[in-house]
Amino acid sequence: MKKKDNRKVIYWLLTGCTLIFIMVIVGGITRLTHSGLSISNYKLISGTIPPMNDVEWQEAFDLYKQYPEYQKLNSHFGLEEFKDIYFWEWLHRVIGRFIGVVFIIPFLYFLFTKQLSKPTIKKSIILLILGGFQGFLGWYMVKSGLVDRPDVSHYRLAMHLTTAFITFAYCLWVALDLMYPTKKEIDTQFRNLVRVGMAVLIIQIIWGAFVAGLDAGWLHNHWPKMSDGEWVHETVFIEQEPTWKNFVEGKSGVQFVHRYLAYVVVALIGIIWYRSRKLVRTALQKKAVQVLVVLVFVQFALGVFTLLLQVPVWLGVLHQVVAFFLLAGMTFTLHRFSK
């Protein structure tokens, strides 16, 4: 009889984490290069193969011409420009399909060979549901940009991105459960503090997606103030009616929330670090908090430079990558301080 939850299962879960990470990077490039609406249909199997000859490329380009992005923004595009944006969306979708295969086939193998414990089976099913939901949200997001306006809904973009981050965090958590099956007694107040930090970080990620979806990073490219002389720019409150909509739909308001929520994230992680020093910690717990502090300051600096330089693609992607690492660090820290 094979050992349940063995090292192969851990490698499988960590491979899934790595692939989700790669997919988020490619998704960030797809968004920042405005490539996400280049493929306006969805073919689960045949869509894996890109156009292979001039006729197929022309057919794909003609289909693209039928939708708002080409008609309102990219009517100057020729076939070569279309190929450039097509590549990133195609790659993003192919990686998504590959992740599905990597999760489903090994899961069935481990299940039928009885290598999974009951708790791991339940957690794996949740992972599969999250992955399927993530795929649905991807198409649901793209669909919003094929009707009237040449851009996707920033709400749907935030749902798509946040679900990817949550799926990654949960996959990492399941792997950590298997890697560290025994845990020491923990301070519940400190654990709850880390939970608050995790919740605020996820909210910050949501508003980061709002900023990306609304292209709000190209406004107010000053720091620390929003303009040369103002901490809060007047447009934060007047773009939308009623006022609260400014903070979820107005470009200035969304950037305002993301900008100042960053200070809250830094402060919370600083408090986590300070409070952790008063606890009796293992070497791994100490290292987890130290890495978390380094990551949050790197991420904060990247956010500032991304804003000041008006979101160059490489820096926007790097900012998203470090957000991923920061979530991983917060997940690991929470796991180490949980029962």
Write the single-letter amino acid at 266: V
Nearest alpha carbon to residue 225 among 110, 141, 307, 334: 307
Reported as a single tens digit per residue, the pLDDT across 212-252 is 999 999 888 999 988 877 888 778 777 777 888 889 998 99
Mean pLDDT of 30-44: 84
Looking at residue 1, its pLDDT comes to: 43
3-state secondary structure 11-27: HHHHHHHHHHHHHHHHH
pLDDT above 60: residue 172? yes
**162's tokens:** 């946040």
pLDDT above 90: residue 204? yes
Looking at residue 269, its pLDDT comes to: 97
Place of tokens 């069935």: 108
Looking at residue 202, its pLDDT comes to: 97
Of all residues in the chain, the percent with pLDDT exceeding 90 is 64
Q: What is the pTM of this model?
A: 0.91
**Alpha-carbon distances of 46 from 43, 49, 92, 265, rounded to whole Å:** 6, 6, 15, 44
pLDDT above 90: residue 107? yes
Mean pLDDT of 115-134: 94
Mean pLDDT of 24-44: 86
pLDDT above 70: residue 184? no
Of all residues in the chain, the percent with pLDDT exceeding 70 is 98
Instruction: Round the average pLDDT of the chain to a whole number and report it.
Output: 90
Cα of 200 vs its chain's centroid, Å: 15
Reported as a single tens digit per residue, the pLDDT across 294-310 is 999 999 999 999 999 99
